[in-house]
Structure 1
Amino acid sequence: MSDAEIPLRAFAHPLRLQILSLLTGTAMSAAEVAREIGGTQANASYHLRQLLDAGLLDVAEAVSVRGGMAKRYRHDPQVGNRLTPAGTNDRLTLAAALGEELRRRTLRRREGVPGPLTDAELWVDPQVWEDVCNRVVQAMTDLHDAAQAPRAPGTIRTSTTMSMFVMHPEPEPR
C-alpha cells in the first residue's frame, strides 16, 4: 500500500495516534508498545496490525525472542501526505480521536513550561495560506525527523497537535 492512498479512518483512534507517535522515534515490537502505553500485548498487536494494513507502518526488523520472531514496526510520518477522507464522518471521527489524544496529553503537561497555543478561524489571502502551510509542514517534518526513542537521554517529551484546513464559505448575510 506504499503508493496507495490511505483512508483517514485508519488514524481515527486515540491509541493508534499514540502508537504512531511512539513509532516515529524508534522501531518497537508489540510487547514494547504495550509496555510503553500501559496496555496489553494483544491490544497493541491488534492496533499495530490495523496500522500496518493501512500502510502507516513498516516492518523495520524481525528479532528472535525466546524461540520466536517478534516484528518491530516503524512509522514514517510522510505517509500522512497520502490521507484520503472518505467523507465528513471520517473527518469527524479523526477530529474526535485527535481531541481525545490531546486531552490525554494535556493531563501530562508540565506546569510552568510555556508552549505555543493558538486557535483561529480566519479569512486570508490564498498565497499567505499556502506559505504558512508550507512552513508548518517543514516544522512538523523537523520535529518528526528529530524524534527519538521514548526517554532517550537528553530528550524532553513534547506534544504537537495541529489540524489546518480551508473551510467552505458561509452564505452571504442577507
Structure 2
Amino acid sequence: MPEHEIPLRAFAHPLRLQILSLLTGAPMSAAEVARELGGTQANASYHLRQLYDARLLDVAEEVSVRGGRAKRYRHNPSTGNRLSGPEPSDRLAMAAALSEELRRRTMLRDAGRPAPMTDAELWVDPDLWRDICDRVTLAMTELHDAARPPRTPGTVRTSTTVSMFTMVPSPDPSSQDPA
C-alpha cells in the first residue's frame, strides 16, 4: 500500500469512528476523550494510538497535566480521501462499523427536528454522478469545518453518515437459467 494511503481497517471500529468525530470539533487528550465518551483512559489511549499510527490524527498540542505531559489529538477529515482497502473484508468491516455507529446514533435522534434520509441503488449518467459526488464532498467538508467542541452553546449535536460508491454491474437476471 502506498505511504499516503490509509487502511480502511483503521476506521473499522465503532469507538474509533466516535473518536474521529469528536476530534473533528476540538483537540482532546486521552483523558478528555474518555470522559466525553464514558470510557476508560486506557481504552481511549489505545484507540488514539491506533488512529495516530494510521495517520488519521495529528498531535495538535502537548499540555502539562499534574507534572506530566498529555498530547491532544485532532482529526483532519480530509484523510478520508486517502482511504484504501481493495479487499472485500476491509470494506465489509468498515460497513459493519458504520452500521453499528448509525444504530447507536439513531437511538439518540431528536424526533422533533428534521432528519433527511435516503437510500438508493440507481443507474445514473456518469457525468451527473461525478457532479453529485463533488457536491456531497463539498457539503461534507463544510460540515466538518463547522464542527465545534462538544456542548458548545448555540450548537446542536448532529449525525451524518454518507457512503456513496459505484458498483459493479450485476448479472442480467433474464440471462440466467431458470431453476
Q: TM-score range by the shorter chain?
A: over 0.9
Counterparts of 1:1-174 in structure 2, within 5 Å, are: 4-172=4-172, 173-174=174-175
Kindly state the Cα deviation for residue 114 of structure 1 after the two structures are TM-superposed. 1.4
In 2, Cα distance between the equivalents of 1:170 and 1:146?
A: 39
* Residue pair 1:8, 1:86 contacting (<8 A) in 2 also: no
The CA RMSD measured in Å over matched residues stands at 0.8
**Which structure 1 residue ranges, 4+ long, deviate > 4 Å from structure 2?**
none
User: Across the two proteins, how many residue pairs are aligned to each other?
Assistant: 172
Look at both structures and tell me which one has the larger radius of gyration over its CA atoms: 2
Structure 1's unaligned 5+ residue stretches are: none
Deviations 1:151-173 (A, max 9, x none): 01110000000100000101122
In 1, Cα distance between the equivalents of 2:39 and 2:157?
A: 20
For 2:167, what is the secondary structure of its paired residue?
coil
Kindly state the Cα deviation for residue 4 of structure 1 after the two structures are TM-superposed. 1.5
In 2, Cα distance between the equivalents of 1:24 and 1:170?
A: 38
**Matched residue type, 1:164:** M
Kindly state the Cα deviation for residue 83 of structure 1 after the two structures are TM-superposed. 0.4
* Residue pair 1:7, 1:84 contacting (<8 A) in 2 also: yes
Structure 2's unaligned 5+ residue stretches are: none
TM-score (norm 1): 0.97
Q: Taking every aligned residue pair, what percent have the same amino acid on both sides?
A: 73
Kindly state the Cα deviation for residue 5 of structure 1 after the two structures are TM-superposed. 0.6
